[in-house]
Structure 1
């Protein structure tokens, strides 16, 4: 579903602020893969996501999604095929618009119609929105006319997840989407994430700072360092791996210990 070939990106090249954010990065995800990503600050995790979404073009290499080379495809065109959640629950929704209006925008954005701007949401679509909301078990189906700004952080993040997957994307990018939530709410959103990904067989990349999450969620664990993927584990090796094993493998492949206190405290 996703293939990244020798992707590199350097910001401010030739200046004192030069930063090699991606360095000959290679990654291939099969349809239905759910890979977690761990790495220190500056390892390139968010840069990787921004390269996939088209927030900028890579300096060299190729990005192929669903068999299509999207390396130089405009970001607004890619958005039809890519779901993206951020750490901040305030991103991804329009607070002054109602729940129903937010869902309508997400639905039309992901529509495959060539005349999306001229489409209208039908009564059937609204019933579908209500059915989707009821799956959250948050009572939001009875609040469709209320502004999203009245929702809690957890409710907004759950709604954003629903909006990003209402029309099944080719890939779902989760950038620490539960990090700003309280533990109980974060766990609820994680369970919802697992259920939606499994039911829709969605290909997913999820950045996390939690080492246990990195090993327990999905079927693959990736670790990044200085703009490259230095560790990619799955199958039996991953099933039998402990957090300490993961840290040791990272140190062996990266040539140094992981130095992110936030990640290490999650052990």
Structure 2
């Protein structure tokens, strides 16, 4: 399977999926969303791969959704189409029959952070920045962000962290329970490789079966969250605050929100 915005490499029982739009800080445009959906759906049928590592090419893991694409007058982002892709991505991602490790360097923000939190194990470089910062452009988390945040920290804390949209250091994210390991600067991929080796030297079929059992209990809740995120995000895209938020982001100024 050939892709233009991501790469998938397989080696015996492991695979590495790399977000590959480094010129755009691996921001997810419509093409990347479509390719991620196709990739995860194909991996759902994989019989030999037991560990998947997700990483980003270039300086960061992912800056999130492609905000510039939201403002592109020639090819504007179709939010309803995007939400269909995101539903496909997350549904397949959550049911992958393998252990998923997210290796984060640089930054993981917005939709990129939703993808990070959906991994079974998250290791982040000590100087990385992590943020569920949809609120800064007048949007709600998507890509299952509500579900994955709640799984990690509980409902009350998830609400507060989503509302605040704070950019967290790796230490703050670890203390909050959002990530699992911190790697010294420049060693995140080496630490991910060590974790892969540990997994493959374990009775990993048992581990994957436990994942399948636990995830099966939550699948209907995830489906409901994805439907509500699609409905809510479509509505938020039409708000005055969102339009102000994305213009302020591109213009590098503080947004002025009016609650509409």
Normalising by structure 2, we get a TM-score of 0.30
Instruction: From the two aligned structures, give the one with the greater helix fraction.
Output: 2
Q: Which has the higher strand share?
A: 1
TM-score by length of 1: 0.29
User: Per chain length, whose mean CA-contact separation is higher, i.e. which structure has more relative contact order (CA < 8 Å, sep 6+)?
Assistant: 1
